[in-house]
Structures are given as structure tokens and as C-alpha cells.
Homo-oligomer: A and B are copies of this chain.
């Protein structure tokens, strides 16, 4: 990767201000954008009014003018409160933390957390500077998560997330951040078909997906062939989930960044997920799947990120028997984490369980999207399909 010297100047990811910049709510921002998010982060930006149809350019001078667009940009670049409460227990104090073969014993809880967060931030900074690939993962080990899961015995404490659960959530979120400036699409408006619009940057997207997956040691240790078997369908599933998240049902379209600096957010209006009339009536509706996923995510990026991770490790027929168990364990682990997160969020075991069931069904439906895409690409013809997409969808030129 290229190293751009200019990137070393710290700049607010929201407004571009260079004064008083630091990591706030997970993102490099200035002090004013920090307090802005602190004050408005809970509000729903869809209920706010924008004079410019959500098209405002946010910079140091204009950041005051449109609250909606500023807030949407904050959320878009990944700013978020840690809403889940982290339970602090005496027995958590002497935990052993394994980070990349280096074992660190932390007596002081606060220092321990600070150390972890500092590592995450350093890593994030390095990634965003393009200095390293995401292989420098700091994923917690499976055994530790397992241990903490068994700690909670008291009913009152059950709904609280323990430190390791919080840490796992953080890890997922940090991993997903490789997609933050994913949408380098330029001047993409009024598109009519799938391929042109979603996959105009397939190679870049593929690279980032591999970076994301490599954050999980289990995936990283798989043989290349098995990785590919997962990556091909996962490519589409991840896209579908992310686009469902961005999708605005009221406007029937979604927002994305227009250029690299991410200063301009454009709105793409289309009928992307409308199943065409020509398809057979008994086929599952793609648009319904997307809409249901959208609904279940509750506009919550943490649910989205867990959904993506669960989708990564979900059982797949084309996976070699030898690796099914280890992948299955990750699937169980993250499904469990999602359940715990939902329990904590909704403060209800019942509600969380029902929601989880629906989500698992949806994740099992995701292959339909893959096959629908593939069918459409076949119609377009091999010659007209991007090389990477042809690879992803296993298209051949005969």
C-alpha cells in the first residue's frame, strides 16, 4: 500500500478541522464535532429537516448550518456511543489477556482497558494511514470469552455484559471499520441495474473484505481454498447487509460517500431491491429479505456488525468437514454475543430470543441474494462482468 505523507496531519473526519483533533467516540474528530455528537448522538437524524435533501457538504464553515447532515455524517463515519453497559466485577480483575502471542497480566482494571483501547486506536490509526494491513489483529481468544460467559449466575446480573463481551463487541466494530470509507463511488446517480451500481469497485471491496476476515484468527488460519469458499458468498452477504443498513425506506434509496475524503454524501434513489416482475412468483423476494434485515438491525451499527460476523462464520455446505467444527464454534460464539447484546439492549430475555430466531432465519436466506445476483450477471454476459465479480460468482466464459 502507498504511504501518503499528507495523511499524517490529523484532521477531523467530520468537518476537516485540524485544531483539537483526537479520537472521540471511536473516530478521529475535532472537539466541536465531539460535543456535537455527544449532544445529538441519540437523536434520530431521519426526523430532522434538511433544506438540501440530505445533500449538504459538511466542512468547518458549514458544519453549523445543517444539523441533520452533520449528524448523519458522524454516524456514517462510524461515531457511536458504547450504549451497552459494561459490568465491573471483582472476579474480572485478574484476567489474562492474549494479544498476538504476547501475554499481559493486568491487575488494574482501568489500566487494562486503557491499554486495550490504546492498542485498538493505534492499530486503527495505522490502518487508516495505510501503513499496515489488518493482519495485526487483536481478537480475544475463544477460551476467555467462554470463561466469562459462565461467570454470570445471579439473575439480576444476567442482562449485563461483562468486560470480555464488551471487548468482543469492540473487536467486531474495529474490524468492520476497514469499510468506513468504502464508498469511493463517484457520481453514481440514477442507476437502473445491480451490477453497475453495487459492484463498480469490486476489487477494492474484495481487498477490504479479506482485510476484515483476517481480523479473525480462525478465518486466517484456514487454507486458502477454504477461505475462498467462504469469501465468495460472503462478499455478497456483507454487501447486502451493509446496503440494507444504509437503505432509507421512506426515500427508497440510500446515502453514500461520493469521494475519498468523504466530505460529500450523495443520495442514491433507485429500485435496487425490488424483485423484478419477471421472476417466478414462488421465489423468495430479495427486497423482502433486505427490508426485514433493515428492520431487525434497528439502525444499530452494533447489530449490523454482529450480523456480518455471524454471516461470515455461518455453516456452509462447500466447507471442508475438517474445518466445520472450528467455524461452527465461532458461529455459536457470535450468535451468543448477539443474543447477549439484545438481552442487554432490550432488557428482556424473551424478546431477544424471538429476535435472534428471526435473524438466524434471515441469515440463512442470504444465499438467495447471491443466486439472484449471479442470475442477473449471467444475463449481462461474462464479457461484460468485472473480473473480480466473475471470480466471486464463479462465472465461466463458455
Contact = CB atoms under 8 A, between A and B. Distances in A.
A363 to B, nearest CB: 40
A61 B50 CA distance: 10
A57 B49 CA distance: 12
16 contacts: A49-B61, A49-B62, A49-B65, A51-B51, A51-B52, A51-B56, A51-B57, A51-B62, A51-B65, A51-B66, A51-B69, A52-B52, A52-B55, A52-B56, A65-B65, A65-B66
Interface of A: 49, 51-52, 55-57, 61-62, 65-66, 69
Interface centre among A52, A61, A62 (most CB of B within 10 A): A52
Contacts of A56: 51-52
Contacts of A69: 51
Contacts of A66: 51, 65
Candidate in A49, A65, A69 with the most chain B CB atoms within 10 angstroms: A65
A66 B67 CA distance: 12
A69 B65 CA distance: 12
Nearest to A65: B51
Contacts of A65: 49, 51, 65-66
Contacts of A51: 51-52, 56-57, 62, 65-66, 69
A355 to B, nearest CB: 36
Given A51-B62, A52-B56, A65-B65, 5 more contacts: A49-B62, A51-B51, A51-B66, A51-B69, A65-B66
